[in-house]
């Protein structure tokens, strides 16, 4: 197979950390851009054999640095995203302006592929700033680089995620647990290794100009997810549906902290199911059916939150 030169933005995150190894194993040469080499370099440089991973510290909005990064690449993958805003990192800047700039660079430097990771279920959450910004980002990308492929995953889980691990920590501490919207919102959780397999498929099959929703093998309500987590750590908790007005007040309080557990904007997204819309292709249509079930996979790492485990309280 012909190896490609792949430029990854946001490669130190959950997907990136798993993706780099997968791509370097296939002999692709990966350049990962990070804002902080000293903080992220240690994990990034172990993801491939010497010569296969280049780590570049850069301001991703700096035109000159971007030109140098794009000039000899075949593929660009954008994994940069945020769940909440602060004064500098706004949804507009990260989800609209940044993809706008790099999709233009893909066109200018005639890249073969641009793979952008957006999110599932954002079409319905029209009142969410996160969702609206992700959608506008998608539109700009298609306009600037029509060959782009946009992947829209449901919630992604893994041993090093911010989702199941955070929930496991909360469930191991709290005697009661709040359920928003009665815990009825549905998700199709997908394991990070399978998201990376989809990205790898998009490269191998040279898929261009497509929007692909990425889902796991099951549809689970939020309550199902919490129950599976509780079973896996052998704990019983009182699950209490809370009215949305109270949830908003709690979220407002969380927003004071630098990394809020939940925000009022996220509550707006949680109102809508995060499952296949039927409007776009899915990973199954490109020949990849996810197999890894949420309950089976969390069982492999949830022991750390069980009684006597490293994180048990």
Render 142-179 in DSSP notation, one character per residue: HHH-TT-EEEEE--EE-TT-SSHHHHHHHHHH-SEEEE
Tokens standing for residue 22: 């997968």
Q: How many CA atoms lie within 13 A of 148 on its CB side?
A: 29
Is residue 106 helix, strand or coil? helix
∠ CA 125-281-104, rounded to 5°: 75
Least CB distance to ligand NAP at residue 236 (A): 27
CB of 77 vs ligand NAP, minimal distance in Å: 10
Site residues, ligand NAP (CB under 6 A): 10, 12-16, 34-36, 40, 60, 79-82, 89, 94, 117, 119, 153, 155-156, 163
Distance CA 76, CA 82 (A): 19
Residue nearest to ligand NAP (CB): 13
DSSP 88: S
Distance CA 78, CA 101 (A): 11
Q: Which residues lie closer than 8 Å to 313 by C-beta, 6 or more apart?
A: 172, 173
- Report the 10 Å Cβ neighbour count for 75: 22
| Residue number, 91 or 177, with CB nearest to ligand NAP | 91
The length of the chain in residues reads 313
Q: Which long-range contacts (CB under 8 A, 24 or more apart) does 55-60 make?
A: 55/31, 56/31, 56/32, 57/33, 58/33, 58/34, 59/35, 60/9, 60/33, 60/35, 60/98, 60/102
- CB of 55 or CB of 171, closer to ligand NAP: 55
Minimum CB distance to ligand NAP smaller for 43 or for 242: 43
CB of 229 to ligand NAP, least distance (A): 15
Q: Give the nearer residue to ligand NAP in terms of CB position, either 35 or 307.
A: 35
CB-wise, 106 or 156, nearer to ligand NAP?
A: 156
CB closer to ligand NAP out of 90 and 312: 90
β 186-187/220-221 pair status: antiparallel
Q: Which is nearer to ligand NAP, 65 or 312 (CB)?
A: 65
């Amino acid at each position: 197979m012909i190896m490609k030169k792949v430029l990854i933005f946001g490669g130190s995150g959950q997907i990136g950390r798993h993706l780099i190894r997968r791509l370097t194993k296939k002999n692709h040469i990966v350049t990962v851009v990070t804002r902080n080499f000293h903080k992220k370099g240690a994990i990034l440089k172990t993801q491939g054999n010497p010569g296969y991973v280049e780590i570049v510290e850069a301001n991703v909005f700096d035109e000159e640095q971007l030109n140098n990064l794009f000039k000899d690449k075949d593929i660009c993958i954008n994994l940069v995203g945020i769940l909440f805003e602060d004064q500098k990192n706004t949804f507009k800047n990260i989800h609209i302006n940044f993809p706008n700039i790099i999709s233009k660079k893909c066109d200018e430097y005639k890249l073969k592929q641009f793979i952008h990771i957006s999110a599932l279920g954002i079409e319905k959450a029209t009142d969410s700033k996160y969702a609206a910004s992700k959608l506008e980002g998608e539109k700009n990308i298609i306009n600037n680089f029509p060959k782009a492929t946009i992947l829209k995953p449901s919630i992604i889980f893994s041993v090093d995620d911010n989702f199941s691990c955070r929930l496991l920590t909360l469930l191991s501490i709290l005697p009661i647990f709040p359920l928003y919207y009665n815990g009825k919102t549905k998700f199709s959780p997908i394991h990070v290794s399978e998201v990376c397999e989809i990205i790898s498929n998009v490269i191998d099959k040279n898929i261009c100009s497509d929007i692909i929703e990425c889902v796991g093998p099951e549809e689970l309500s939020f309550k199902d997810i919490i129950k599976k987590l509780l079973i896996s750590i052998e704990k019983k908790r009182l699950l209490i549906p809370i009215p949305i007005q109270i949830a908003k007040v709690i979220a407002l309080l969380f927003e004071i902290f630098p990394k809020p557990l939940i925000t009022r904007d996220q509550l707006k997204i949680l109102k809508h199911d995060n499952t296949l819309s039927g409007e776009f292709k899915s990973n199954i249509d490109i020949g990849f059916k996810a197999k890894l079930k949420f309950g089976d996979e969390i069982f492999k790492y949830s022991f750390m939150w069980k009684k006597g485990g490293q994180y048990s309280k």
